[in-house]
Structure 1
Amino acid sequence: MREGLDRVIDALRLAADGLDQLFERKGTKSHMMPNPDGHPWIRVIHPMEKVRFIGITPNRGDGPIYLKLRIFLYEQYQEEFDRLLLGKFFSFEGEALPRNPAYPGASWSRYLEDEDTSVVGYEATINVSAWPDETFDARIRSLCEEFCLFAKAVVTGGAEYDALPDTRTSEPAPAWLRDEAALEELLGRHDLRESEILALVKVRIGQSDYRQQLIQRWGGCSVTGCKLTEFLIASHIHAWGKCESADERWDPDNGLLLTPSLDKLFDLGLISFVDNGKVVIHPRLERGQMHHFGVDQNIRLRRDVLTKHPGIMKYLKLHREINGLEPAPAA
């Protein structure tokens, strides 16, 4: 077991008892249980009419130990979900915690489909690695209770929501945290081919704050300037699966915002770009076929963005090298 994880599990077991009593509606008694693979989590089932469940669990992997605090609402309650993701942050001991959308795991997704139910999820995260032993259990208990009361106030709205502190954070979740959250979603997906897993990764990237960073940076398609961002794809330059670290995977210098056709050509290595932004076209993309994809020898990445963010160039070089598009050195 990862060092320190055992004390988290012991503290969660103590904290689970009685959390359901914080709500007027009494569903399944709150308790701690293992997932099918043995991973521990607290669950409070149906504590409110609009809430499918509240879950609290430690992260997987080898990074810092943190707790993931999740709320899953029925999909039709969009106003309440917007308050979770766009309204007041959940704060603990005066610190606003990073938040992100959360997604059901593969087995639970199939269960929800069977019962014809759709949910939307919220997740806040807190690093508990450095909490001292003498106060650890009490702080975990307090954290779990305060999160449940936060969930109740947000979903209820009105005076309960207004009474919440308006502590905010301008800091995005750290790279290792976003990376682990995305990768965890793919754990156990042995039913998918590698191409399907990479497609799922791209969907999740498209729903993340990484996409928002690229929209803010490029203002539209990195090549065409198209402003219809809902149709654009957040695409890695150096492919997700080839990145050596979370920092590379979530580095905005490693991202382009592209129309679907350009994204597909770039993803397949049929086009790339040199350091000044000019397009490089693979011989397999025949001249007579280029116009079908909106490609010609004159398209290029926006020069103003490249000048402002020169870190993009190292990823473009990797993309060209991997796909055999690196221009030959001058004689």
Structure 2
Amino acid sequence: MIQLGGEKFKFIDVFPKILTVPDSFVVRNNKIQTTKDKTKESHGEAKLYISSKDIMRDFYGHEGFRVTCFMLKQDLINYLNTLKTEYLNPSQAYRGMDSFAVLWEERMNKVKLLQDEIIIFEVSDQTQIKGPRGYVNSSDKGYKLIRELSLPLISYILVKKLSDTGGSQLYYWKLFVDFDAIEQMKSLPTVFTYGKSKMQDQEAENIETQIEEEVKTIKRGRDGQQKYREKLLEQCPFCPFTMVADDRLLIASHIKPWAVADENERTDPYNGYMLTPTYDRLFDQGFITFTEDRHVHISNFLSKRTCKQLGLENDKFIQMLPMDKKRIKYLEFHKQSVFKD
């Protein structure tokens, strides 16, 4: 049994696909700007692509399903807190980015004022849509809230199938932030050269200056990462799981992800562990996290079969795991905003 929002549920299954939120699904202010005529652009489609119809219906029950889903208010608060950096310093050209700081405040207040800790909504199979792709839709407030809070391409949804104490099946939806996607978006060039023949000399010079600044920023970032790795190796010269000490096989993994960390946190060696690639991936993607007393916690979004194949054991004591007050502070963020609880 697992406890969510004060209620007890029996865990049944996890949906096998990550639902990355598309641009077509979100509300207008969250959409990414394009070169199209804005007067002709859509306001977003309420339907959400899930997967192939076969996979979707196998998980949700049958063709034409209409099922009860829920989110947790605290999950949404944690999600918005994690995304605050993105609202203040967007990695993409959102339609409403000029007012994003205000939007974050409004949306956080809206969630905090919700009366219920558990937000219930229904979704239904969109059987009228032809072809192999499976979609759901809903007119419920909870579903509309997902469209309002999700940012395209960097937000995703994971779903658990549960049953309550009465035996009824419900579907727990949880929003997450894709930190890797944010990093990738920020690494893309924001300006392009067109040649001086197509613009005034001053405009071309301004663009060249911007490009030079971006190159310097990228170089500073790379230099910072190298220094971070060197300092982290002094503290953690081996992977605490495998005891591998060959630094060619070790990854300097951040506890609080690079994409949402400030400049000091990005290069703070206490914000990291040296891990071999499999454990780095598990930790980076939030499938494992650590307690203050050096025990590993495994996400139940990871199947039992996968855990067995990897030799993962929940609550196992990791004796050589570095742990101190500074790391504990970073781990609090990881458990709240990265770990797939």
Return the TM-score normalized by structure 1: 0.36
Return the TM-score normalized by structure 2: 0.35
